[in-house]
Structure 1
């Protein structure tokens, strides 16, 4: 009975050869494992090749990228090469307009260079005994790139006054339109006509509720945000104050939002620290935040105890360095070298690997009456010891922004 129902009794079934699959042998398993192993190896080699290619695109064989495991604040000069790629951007003022262009076109220049560190042969004459002062620097000029835009305000534009890295990209700032440009194709391997400027943001002057673009003069990153500032001086007619829009700072956040802060009190504290109370003034084009020292470093372009005058201002250059606490409640004034009245600081950066103790700075000069322009680069410690004297940039152009070509 049970047998008839097919229950309880084992029955010998005939195996169909059409669907029979023999159990995998050990040799078949070994071959499968080998295939998967080879595939994994190929994927690993591909990923590593792409990583190496990306690194080579960002730095030439002569320039090492800092080890990714090293904290940015802990990078010392021993971990870095002894030479760095530099870039300088020009503010040509009215000369930025291309006169023979059929449509409005405005251009700027980007001068490339190598900053080389050397052991100082004799340190006995150096007053600064810090490790940073045991070196000296030299500069070698490389190619110059030309790049342009059609964007302008009332027939003027692309008067670029600063360079700054933000979120892994190099940016420049137009002091006529308030535009912020991302720069592309600026490396040593790119050609003189490959460089591009892509507008990515705009900042209006004052509290942001104005119709005039901010007169960008300096920019620096603090706590993940891009601080963009102007000259830090009232707009005046003689001794009469017209407005204080240039004493505000705009801040670009990581998500692209722009907010504005009133820095009038901070700029006035700097003015008081150097003994230039109103109607005296200090004009700012070079301010950097140091995440190492948690302090602001300020290199004024002009310093004067007298009322502002367009012509006289051209010879009121400065050799002062002001170091301020985070809230500008404490300020210290230092001196760097000697004064050349026609030259004033327009931009600077801390040299990588020096714990923000060495500065490479740009000085600019201009004479509206003769249309003369020039720029000079120098290196010194934060205590004022000069490690490279002022050295003229090629050409008769007013460069106003300096940056390293790698985001250290």
Structure 2
């Protein structure tokens, strides 16, 4: 039995709106703590309550993540290092996460995390200094074929929307970011009621709760906060059905993207996401007949994979591989997807086996504080814990896969993206 199952999950909300989730794991020395803020790269157009539409340049959320570590008289990265902790941060489409791991001095580390995220310090000089660093990061990603292909897939599914922009922005857009842009985004989204603090590992939950409460009571935040409405897909155009570019690659890379049809409410999002994992695993997992046939025919190799993204205003899935025959890969996957109802029926005998396999992976993560924290970061926009995922996954039946078919199996909402070798 997992240590996490043996422990009690403590889940509550402070008076200032901060959601706190504590997952004590007896016997572990390491502790992970993470603050997830419900804001990401797509939040470039938003409308606060009783206010007109506000905009910031593409890449502002990622830029803000970088600059939040640097204060007037200290750098949070360096402070964590002096405390013997590892720290990191990352920005995704819909969220920004700040985290540390430590085996000691947990109170000081927690206070450092809460303080640097909740006490911004921006100057134009510091903002200007960061342009070169982020510019190099953008160029580095531009040189990675896998990243270019994935970004092109998302942009093709959601043209003319914030989803079409790179998470870090572009060389042009980051030149437009000023202190006031960071401050506007911070003021509108970096409020306790729009944050979740997760602590997982070896600690006393009562002691940690007291530390958190004391820290938050010493700060003042906006009263009656309401998250702005994010204008993500309001201007979404028709899917770009085909995209190609040439790069210095030895073999073609191809990815098929599927745009979902629904705006999933939070209560249904986890069920839909897990049903998607089951759907693609059932039809395309390494043990499936389809995978083995395509692999043995040389149409796919070990690079083949699939994934899905489910958020409050959009959802999509993709399948991709490196292959010497991209046209045949496209044709085969297109056929299998269009035939998905029959494919699910043919594989019905394997449903419980696939489901148990996914359950096993989730339960296996429960013996690692790092894995629990990372999984939470992947699904933080819905504020789900890995225990929630296990409970929902256990309840799913093969009939629930129809949710995925109804949403994603719409060929007019698909895109095919390729990166081909230079002639």
Q: Tell me which protein shows more helix as a share of its residues.
A: 2
Larger Rg: 1
Compute the TM-score of the two structures, normalised by the length of structure 1. Answer: 0.24
With CA pairs under 8 Å and 6+ residues apart, which has the higher RCO, 1 or 2? Answer: 2
